[in-house]
Amino acid sequence: MADKFTLHFIDYAIMAIYFLFVLGIGWALKKYMKSSSQFLEGGKSIPSWITGLAFISANLGALEVFGMGASGAKYGLMTAHFYLIGAIPAMIFLALFMMPFYYGSKARSVPEYLKLRFDEKTRGFNAFSFAIMTIFASGISMYALARLMEVMLHWNFNYSIVASAVIVLVYTYLGGLKSAIYNEVLQFFLIVVGFFPLVFIGLQDVGGWEGLTMKLNDVAVGKGFAAGTWTSTWHYLGSASTNPMGVDWFGMFMGLGFVLAFGYWCTNFLVVQRAMAANSMSAARRTPLIGALPKMFLPILVIVPGMIAIALMSRPENGLQLIGDNGQTDYNMIIPSMLVHYYPTGLLGLGITALMASFMSGMAGNVTAFNTVFTYDIYQSYIVPGKSDNHYLKVGQFATIFGVAVSIGAAYVAANFNNIMDFLQLVFAFVNAPLFATFMLGMFWKRTTGNAAFWGLITGTAAAALHYSLTIAEGKGGWIAQLVEYPSGMAQGFWTAIYAWSVCFILTIVVTFFTKQLKTDADLRGLVYSLTPKTYDEPGIPWYEKPVIMAVIIGAISIVLTIIFW
Amino acid sequence: MDMDIRIPIGLLFVVLGFILAVFGLFSMNDTELYTRSLGRNINLWTGVIMLVFGGLMLLSTRRKVKK
């Protein structure tokens, strides 16, 4: 398959022009990078439509494009739960309830909030686990990019790694967070325009939505499920045995919709950092809401291609083969394979550029989150405190180089373990799930103590590891014993998250009653709900920019979408 | 504001859209090229859409300055 097409001059020209613009944005922002706050926080000066698009674009890396496409094929439209229940409610909650604490407090990062609210050790634990997590996430996007260049364009894997690392390094080193955010917006539009024709032609090929539904009915029946399983969201969630994901409504609602979604969107500094760079409190609160609007429609771009692919692949005469097919089906390659299958010279260049844009935004997003946490929460806190701001600006720039360099290492680790993506999903369940319990208690219950938060977090993470060690799914986990077998890795991940969150939540409450609150009410002003003055919108903003009104509209649209695709 | 991001985005879309649209016009009769895309001249269509989007982005910056 990979040999049946070649790229022409025009395809390379499109890629080259894109790289020129990306580097140019970094270059143009270079002269503004005069302080650590400019470099690491974007100077808190960016309008909300930009931070809002960057908010979702920083996520649209390899994990989302490969993972959601693959899940669209394996589980069908059910994958849209990652958007409708797995993102929108959490983004609304972040905007309305949590943003005032992040943006209103003096915290420059999520770990720093934990220090102000709880204590030094809670921050340290979160800063280190987050730093390691971002490096792996960035390395995986880098690996995915280089692997793609290798199988699609026959470029050398090592050169591709170095080339992508250098480009991302140059524009994040020159323009810092602001350059990453601006480029994420550019990349977002490019991803939309690069993938949309694929969905358009693909749908036409299978006979529209009706034709797709009919073909997927055959696929579902062929795999032993009811006919509509691949084209519905909630309908077959009554029991775990009637859907391919092997999850029932409770696991979906609690595991994905509550613990994992809120844990990821509300506490992960990668996304929260984008909102914190906004130019006012109401702009910061609007950021997740502006992101939520296009987020609801992303399944069309990333999940529907997977559904089209599985429908076409059920009949070999359709001629769709997955790239890098060595006898086994690699669902991760669905979107690249379909680009090659449908796109002529010219558009193919644009499609590949869109893929590169996606992976680069994934890399740059993680690198800019890493350098901030490294500089403020690790270097300034534990290694060399009390220096001039210029010193920390230099360290931030150095941390950018360091972060990219370590990501290269992580990319080679990813290349050697074929299940690295599952591994990272697992790390999210270990790190983010218990952290959300800590945040909920910390933000809404002023009695919660630092010691309780720390031990709750450690035990919650340990509970996640223990649950994973005692259960097995698709041959993974079960290091100690195999007490329960889940039908899919996703089901296992959801339940791991539920146990981790519950253990952290309960233990933090229990320990709080046995430990002394060391923070006074004055310390906690602006950090805890009951001690913070209510947030008012800036006077004179129009109704459609008010966070509460936007949240109601977005909630209503997502409910309508849920009902239509029930 | 240090830089209006709508300008580079608009420019990139206009440039890429122009390239795709012109290429689409010149390959109008190349039926072999477009068998993959079910006979549609998808280069021309995508190019035109990008041109319009990029143009609107650039126009929106103009209007702001006049105010």
**Look-up of token digits 């945040």:** A439
Mean pLDDT of A418-423: 64
**B23 in reach of chain A (CB within 8 A):** yes
Average pLDDT, chain A: 85
Set of chain A residues whose Cβ sits within 8 Å of the Cβ of B46: 193, 197, 347, 350
Specify the higher pLDDT residue, A354 or A6: A354
Mean pLDDT of A323-341: 75
Specify the higher pLDDT residue, A414 or A198: A198
Are A29 and B3 a contacting pair, CB within 8 Å?
yes
pLDDT in tens, A202-260: 988 888 888 888 888 888 778 878 788 788 888 777 777 788 877 888 888 888 888 88
Nearest residue of chain A to residue B51 (CA atoms):
A193
CA A328 to chain centre: 28
In a domain, A27, yes or no: no
Q: Do A17 and B49 touch (CB under 8 A)?
A: no
Which of B3, B36, B50 is facing A342, going by the closest CB pair? B36
How far does the CA of residue B5 sit from the closest CA of chain A (Å)? 6
Question: What is the value of pTM for the model shown?
Answer: 0.89
In a domain, A212, yes or no: yes
Residues 6+ apart with CB under 8 A from A236: A78, A225, A226, A228, A229, A242, A243
Q: Do A25 and B19 touch (CB under 8 A)?
A: no
pLDDT value at A325 more than 60:
no
In a domain, A79, yes or no: yes
For residue A236, give both structure tokens: 């077959």
- Mutation target among A5, A23, A177, A193 for the B interface, most CBs of B within 10 A: A193
In a domain, A64, yes or no: yes
Set of chain B residues whose Cβ sits within 8 Å of the Cβ of A274: none
Q: How confident is the model at residue A473 (pLDDT cuts 50, 70, 90)?
A: confident
Which ipTM did the prediction report?
0.91
**B24 in reach of chain A (CB within 8 A):** yes
pLDDT recorded at residue A328: 63
Amino acid at the residue A343: Y
In a domain, A40, yes or no: no
pLDDT recorded at residue B67: 39
Nearest residue of chain B to residue A347 (CA atoms):
B43
Q: Do A21 and B46 touch (CB under 8 A)?
A: no
Strand partners, A452: none
Q: How many angstroms separate the CA atoms of A178 and B7, rounded?
A: 16
Which of B19, B43, B45 is facing A13, going by the closest CB pair? B19
Which of A21, A178, A347 is facing B43, going by the closest CB pair? A347
Give SS3 for B27.
coil
pLDDT value at B64 more than 80:
no
In a domain, A33, yes or no: no
In a domain, A67, yes or no: yes
Q: How many angstroms separate the CA atoms of B3 and A398, rounded?
A: 25
Domain that holds residue A258: 9-21+46-564
Lowest mean pLDDT of A167-181, A347-361, A421-435, name the range: A421-435
CB atoms within 10 A of CB A148: 24
pLDDT recorded at residue A327: 59
**B58 in reach of chain A (CB within 8 A):** no
Measure CA of the first residue to CA of the last residue in chain A; give whole Å: 37
Q: Do A197 and B2 touch (CB under 8 A)?
A: no
**Look-up of token digits 């997977």:** A306
Q: Chain A residues contacting B, CB < 8 Å?
A: 10, 13-14, 17-18, 21, 24-25, 28-29, 32, 45, 47, 50, 178, 182, 185-186, 189-190, 193, 197, 201, 204-205, 341-347, 350
What is the tally of structural domains in chain A? 1
**B49 in reach of chain A (CB within 8 A):** yes
pLDDT recorded at residue A330: 73
Mean pLDDT of A410-417: 80
**Residue A35 burial by CB count (10 A; 0-12/13-18/19+): exposed, middle or buried?**
middle
Q: How many angstroms separate the CA atoms of A67 and A489, rounded?
A: 13
Strand order of the β-sheet with A484-486 is A476-477, A471-473, A484-486
Specify the higher pLDDT residue, A166 or A241: A166
CA angle A204, A208, A209 (to 5 degrees): 145
Task: Kindly state the percentage of chain A with pLDDT values over 90.
Answer: 23
Set of chain B residues whose Cβ sits within 8 Å of the Cβ of A320: none
Which of B9, B20, B46 is facing A185, going by the closest CB pair? B9
Which of B5, B13, B36 is facing A185, going by the closest CB pair? B5
Task: Kindly state the percentage of chain A with pLDDT values over 70.
Answer: 95
- Mutation target among B1, B2, B57 for the A interface, most CBs of A within 10 A: B2
pLDDT in tens, A97-129: 888 888 888 888 999 999 998 888 999 999 998
Q: What's the number of CA atoms in the CB half-sphere (13 Å) around residue A352?
A: 30
pLDDT in tens, B38-58: 878 888 899 999 999 999 999
Q: How many angstroms separate the CA atoms of A217 and A342, rounded?
A: 24
Spell out where A2-111 has E strands. none
Q: How many angstroms separate the CA atoms of A530 and A534, rounded?
A: 9
- Mutation target among A347, A352, A356 for the B interface, most CBs of B within 10 A: A347
Residues 6+ apart with CB under 8 A from A534: none
pLDDT in tens, A77-96: 888 888 888 889 999 999 98
The closest alpha carbon to A378, from A114, A38, A123, belongs to A123
pLDDT recorded at residue A2: 40
How far does the CA of residue B49 sit from the closest CA of chain A (Å)? 9
How far does the CA of residue B43 sit from the closest CA of chain A (Å)? 6
Q: Do A344 and B23 touch (CB under 8 A)?
A: no
> Where along chain B do its domains lie?
17-66
Which of B15, B23, B37 is facing A201, going by the closest CB pair? B37
In a domain, A80, yes or no: yes
Q: How many angstroms separate the CA atoms of B34 and B29, rounded?
A: 9
Mean pLDDT of A10-22: 91
pLDDT recorded at residue B55: 92
Set of chain B residues whose Cβ sits within 8 Å of the Cβ of A21: 8, 11-12
pLDDT recorded at residue A419: 60
Q: Do B50 and A193 touch (CB under 8 A)?
A: yes
- Residue/partner pairs of A530-533 with CB below 8 Å, 24 or more apart: A530/A444, A530/A446, A531/A446, A532/A100, A532/A101, A532/A104
Q: What CATH number is attached to the domain comprising A186?
A: 1.20.1730.10
pLDDT value at A322 more than 50:
yes
